[in-house]
């Protein structure tokens, strides 16, 4: 089971169980709570009615006195009340009056007159000066429909002369209890749903950071360059920064070791040539040979300098997993500056550079300096392989969301055996004019610049002869 699902299920289980038990407590407490409130109301009403019935009870006319007539008038009223969403049209009270012996002398429903109620808890306790109340089945044997009975003493001074029992069916408040329970369940369902949504959002937020960190760690373990993680001010952010620092240290160490080995290998040949020429110059030589060996030392020195300079430039871009500078770069100005930078070299070899017209609105998004250096490297490469008096064409082609900067020369092209190796570090071909090799770092530099800008570099032969280098980049 994936971590995100575990987090969500754990969160939802905790919140869901808590909500379930809370709702269960609320639902179970609604019925006794409402009945307790009803009992409290019955106590108040019973004592008020007991005082009102006192005169007729003392006078012996409780069955046909003013108290009974007023109760009958109240029972005939159409209440036309709406309590919450439930209509109420009549009074639900039933009033029973017993004498001091517990014998029923008045029943508002006329059913139990003459019956001995002295054994019922409400009458029994009240006759003994205690609080009397009971809940009993409305129909004997039916435990679902019950009636709440609350009794109050009828006194003549300090003498107890009777008991008034006020009764109300519990069924009269059942709709309110059920409505409250439904409301609690409905609100509880919303609570659980909201908790689930919060759980999903929290899980997504946590797993988003964890997945980014996981992808970043996978990329680092595979040796891929990856942009830094977004800034977060929490433990995931701290872990991401720690991984980034560790990656930089490990890659820095490996990078230095690799480049020291590469540089040492590339320096052996020029240094051997310089050492050999220097040893020969110590011997008596004809002037022609002396000039040739001195020139050879100078050429090898230039080769070393070029190798070190380009190696440093390549190292700088390879160490960056992302662009340090990103700004709009007009393509027309970029090509013009690159062409101007190689103009002196082209004039020395009588090579013509044709810069085709470029849309003035065409722009790239990236580092202007790196892009200019990349185009200059392509032009240098084309100039090295173009024949004396040759021609180089620099153009820009826009196709949908990509922009191709193309450098075409009329040189010998790329040999078949070198097609797959031209972008390898330190790999180079002999220049047709001089037979010398370059540092082999120009095209790898172009490839790295293309990668940083989300593009790619390519070099291919043309059917009509010559080669075309392409720097393909996304349009701004």
Q: Is the CB of residue 382 less than 8 Å from the CB of residue 409?
A: yes
* DSSP-assigned letter for residue 430: B
Mean pLDDT along residues 193-218: 77
Residue 257 predicted with pLDDT over 60: no
- The pLDDT score that the predictor gives to residue 192 is 74
Which of 3-12, 28-37, 214-223, 262-271 shows the lowest mean pLDDT across its residues?
262-271
Paired tokens of 450: 């293309």
Residue 319 predicted with pLDDT over 90: no
Q: Is 61 helix (H, G, I), strand (E, B) or coil?
A: coil
Residue 172 predicted with pLDDT over 80: no
Q: Is the CB of residue 314 less than 8 Å from the CB of residue 448?
A: yes
In 389-449, at which residue ranges do the beta strands (DSSP E only) sit?
391-399, 402-409
- The pLDDT score that the predictor gives to residue 201 is 79
Sign of CA dihedral 438, 439, 441, 446: negative
* DSSP-assigned letter for residue 230: P
Residue 167 predicted with pLDDT over 80: yes
Dmax (CA) of the chain: 161
Q: Is the CB of residue 380 less than 8 Å from the CB of residue 392?
A: no
Give the separation between CA 222 and CA 262, rounded to whole angstroms. Answer: 22
Q: Which residues contact 423 (CB under 8 A, 6 or more apart)?
A: 443, 444, 447, 457, 459
Residue 410 predicted with pLDDT over 70: yes
342 compared with 248, residue with greater pLDDT: 342
Q: Where are the alpha helices (DSSP H) in 319-454?
A: 331-341, 343-348, 368-385, 442-452
Per-residue confidence band for 149, with pLDDT thresholds at 50, 70 and 90: very high
Give me the domains of the chain, ranges plus CATH numbers.
Answer: 3-178 (3.30.450.20), 225-320 (1.10.287), 323-476 (3.30.565.10)
pLDDT tens by residue, 78-116: 878 777 677 777 888 889 999 999 999 999 888 889 999
The mean predicted confidence, pLDDT, of the chain is 79
Percent of the chain at pLDDT exceeding 90: 17
Per-residue confidence band for 223, with pLDDT thresholds at 50, 70 and 90: low
- In this prediction the pTM is 0.45
Per-residue confidence band for 413, with pLDDT thresholds at 50, 70 and 90: confident
Q: Which residues contact 94 (CB under 8 A, 6 or more apart)?
A: 107, 108, 109, 147, 166, 167, 168
Mean pLDDT along residues 137-154: 83
201 compared with 312, residue with greater pLDDT: 201
* Residue 294 neighbours by CB distance under 10 Å: 13
Per-residue confidence band for 155, with pLDDT thresholds at 50, 70 and 90: very high
- The pLDDT score that the predictor gives to residue 433 is 63
Mean pLDDT along residues 39-51: 92
Q: Which residues contact 1 (CB under 8 A, 6 or more apart)?
A: none
Q: Which residues contact 465 (CB under 8 A, 6 or more apart)?
A: 410, 413
- The pLDDT score that the predictor gives to residue 165 is 94
Give the separation between CA 297 and CA 281, rounded to whole angstroms. Answer: 10
Burial of 35 (0-12, 13-18, 19+ CB in 10 A): middle
- The pLDDT score that the predictor gives to residue 272 is 66
- The pLDDT score that the predictor gives to residue 52 is 93
Residue 140 predicted with pLDDT over 90: no
In 40-145, at which residue ranges do the beta strands (DSSP E only) sit?
81-83, 86-88, 94-99, 104-107, 133-137
Mean pLDDT along residues 356-385: 85
Give the separation between CA 424 and CA 414, rounded to whole angstroms. Answer: 14
Per-residue confidence band for 435, with pLDDT thresholds at 50, 70 and 90: low
112 compared with 345, residue with greater pLDDT: 112
Spatial CA neighbour of 180 closest among 392, 32, 364, 394: 32
Sign of CA dihedral 126, 128, 131, 133: negative
* Residue 429 neighbours by CB distance under 10 Å: 18
* Residue 166 neighbours by CB distance under 10 Å: 26
Burial of 176 (0-12, 13-18, 19+ CB in 10 A): middle
């Amino acid at each position: 089971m994936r971590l995100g699902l575990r987090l969500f299920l754990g969160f939802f289980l905790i919140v869901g169980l808590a909500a379930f038990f809370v709702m269960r407590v609320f639902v179970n407490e609604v019925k006794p709570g409402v009945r307790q409130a009803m009992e409290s109301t019955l106590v108040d009403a019973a004592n008020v009615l007991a005082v009102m019935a006192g005169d007729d009870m003392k006078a012996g006319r409780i069955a046909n006195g003013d108290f009974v007539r007023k109760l009958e008038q109240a029972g005939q009223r159409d209440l036309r009340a709406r309590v919450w969403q439930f209509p109420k049209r009549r009074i639900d009270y039933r009033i029973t009056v017993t004498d001091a012996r517990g014998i029923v002398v008045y029943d508002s429903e006329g059913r139990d007159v003459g019956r001995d109620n002295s054994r019922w808890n409400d009458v029994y306790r009240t006759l003994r000066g205690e609080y009397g109340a009971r809940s009993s089945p409305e129909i004997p044997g039916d435990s679902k429909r019950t009636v709440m009975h609350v009794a109050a003493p009828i006194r003549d001074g300090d003498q107890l002369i009777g008991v008034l029992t006020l009764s109300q069916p519990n069924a009269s408040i059942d709709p309110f209890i059920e409505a409250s329970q439904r409301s609690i369940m409905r609100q509880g369902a919303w609570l659980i749903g909201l908790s689930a949504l919060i759980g999903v959002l929290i899980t997504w937020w946590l797993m988003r950071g964890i997945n980014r960190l996981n992808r970043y760690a996978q990329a680092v373990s595979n040796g891929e360059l990856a942009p830094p993680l977004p800034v977060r001010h929490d433990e995931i952010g701290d872990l991401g920064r720690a991984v980034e620092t560790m990656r930089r240290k490990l890659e820095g160490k490996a990078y230095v070791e690799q480049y020291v080995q590469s540089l040492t290998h590339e320096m052996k040949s020029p240094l051997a040539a310089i050492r050999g020429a220097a040893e020969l110059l110590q011997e008596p030589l004809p002037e022609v040979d002396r000039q040739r060996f001195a020139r050879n030392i100078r050429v090898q020195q230039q080769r070393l300098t070029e190798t070190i300079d380009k190696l440093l430039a390549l190292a700088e871009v390879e160490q960056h997993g992302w662009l340090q500078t990103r700004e709009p770069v007009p393509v027309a100005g970029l090509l013009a500056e690159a062409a101007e930078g190689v103009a002196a070299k082209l004039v020395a070899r009588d090579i013509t550079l044709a810069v085709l017209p470029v849309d003035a609105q065409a722009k790239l998004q990236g580092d202007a300096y790196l892009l200019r250096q990349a185009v200059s490297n392509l032009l240098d490469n084309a100039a090295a392989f173009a024949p004396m008096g040759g021609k180089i064409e620099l153009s820009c082609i826009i196709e949908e969301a990509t922009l191709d900067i193309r450098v075409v020369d009329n040189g010998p092209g790329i040999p078949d055996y070198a097609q797959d190796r031209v972008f390898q570090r330190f790999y180079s071909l002999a220049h047709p004019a001089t037979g010398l090799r370059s540092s082999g770092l120009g095209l790898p530099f172009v490839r790295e610049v293309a990668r940083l800008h989300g593009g790619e570099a390519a070099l291919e032969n043309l059917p009509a002869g010559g080669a075309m280098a392409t720097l393909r980049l996304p349009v701004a």
